[in-house]
């Protein structure tokens, strides 16, 4: 890296990260879509922390819950596809961050909270959700889609024509 610019290998590494995060999102979405009786109700009912009441309330409203289920299943899948393809990458990052913020807040590993699930791993403040969120922030700010991804083509076709430097 020189003068704040990212080297080719650094950009490749971030692109690999983007595809990996996208893969995870896509599979989370597809796995839910292919399970006929999946619902977020269980997760929401387990909610703890400062926003627990809000999540539990959401679980108790059948209409809202049905919408939340659909948005989660399709949203995760869509974010996953976009991240893998590098299409509308920043929008996808923001969408993904939005989902993870919600998942994180539903079960935040803050001081003093103890969980029966997840049973794997040990977390304090930082959990895997937060790490994945940070990964999305990296992808967001480095414009990985315009390095390798359909955004390159989009940008080439519709991007502002700027004088060469």
Partner 1 sequence: MAGDDEKVKKTPQTGAAGPRKLDRRDVLKGLSTVPALGLFGYAWHRQRQYQQARIEEAAAAPVAAGDVQEINVALLGAGAQGQVLTDAMLRIPGLRFRAVCDVWTEYNQKRVVNSLKKFKHEVNAYEDYREMLDKEKELDAVVIATPDFWHSQHTVDCLKAGKHVYCEKEMSNTLEGARAMVTAARDTGKRLQIGHQRRSNPRYLHSYEKLLGEAKLLGRIVTINGQWNRALTPDLGAPDRYAIPEARLKQYGFRDMHQFRNWRWFKGLGGGPIVDLGSHQIDIYSWFLGVNPSAVTARGGNLYHDPATHEWYDTVMTVYDYDTPVGPAMAYYQTQTTNGSQGYFENFMGDQGTLLISESDAHAAKVYRDPNAPAWDTWVQRGYITAPKVQEVKEKAEGVTDVRESVSPDEHKVPIVLRDPVHQPHLQNFFDAVRGKATLNCPSEEAYATAVAVLKVNEAIEAKTRLSFKPEDFTI
Min. distance of Cβ 96 from partner 1 in angstroms? 16
Whichever of 1 and 124 has its CB closer to partner 1, that residue is 1
What is the token pair recorded at 63? 């209409």
Min. distance of Cβ 75 from partner 1 in angstroms? 17
Whichever of 4 and 121 has its CB closer to partner 1, that residue is 4
For partner 1, the binding residues (CB under 8 A) are 4-6, 8, 11, 15, 18-19, 22-23, 26-27, 30, 34, 36-37, 59-63, 65-66, 81, 84-86, 90, 141-143, 146-157, 159-162, 164-165
Whichever of 122 and 162 has its CB closer to partner 1, that residue is 162
């Amino acid at each position: 890296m020189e003068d704040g610019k990212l080297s080719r290998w650094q950009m490749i590494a971030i692109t690999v990260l983007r595809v990996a995060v996208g893969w995870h999102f896509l599979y989370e979405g597809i796995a839910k879509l292919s399970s006929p009786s999946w619902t977020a109700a269980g997760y929401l009912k387990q909610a703890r922390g400062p926003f627990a009441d809000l999540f539990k309330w959401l679980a108790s409203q059948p209409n809202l819950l049905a919408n939340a289920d659909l948005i989660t299943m399709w949203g995760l899948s869509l974010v996953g596809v976009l991240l893998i393809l590098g299409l509308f990458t920043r929008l996808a990052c923001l969408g993904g961050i939005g989902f993870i913020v919600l998942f994180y807040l539903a079960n935040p590993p803050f001081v003093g909270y103890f969980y029966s699930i997840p049973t794997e791993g040990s977390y304090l403040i930082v959990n895997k959700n937060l790490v994945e969120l940070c990964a999305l922030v990296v992808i967001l700010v480095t414009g990985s889609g315009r390095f390798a991804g359909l955004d390159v083509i989009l940008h080439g076709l519709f991007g502002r024509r700027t004088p060469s430097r």
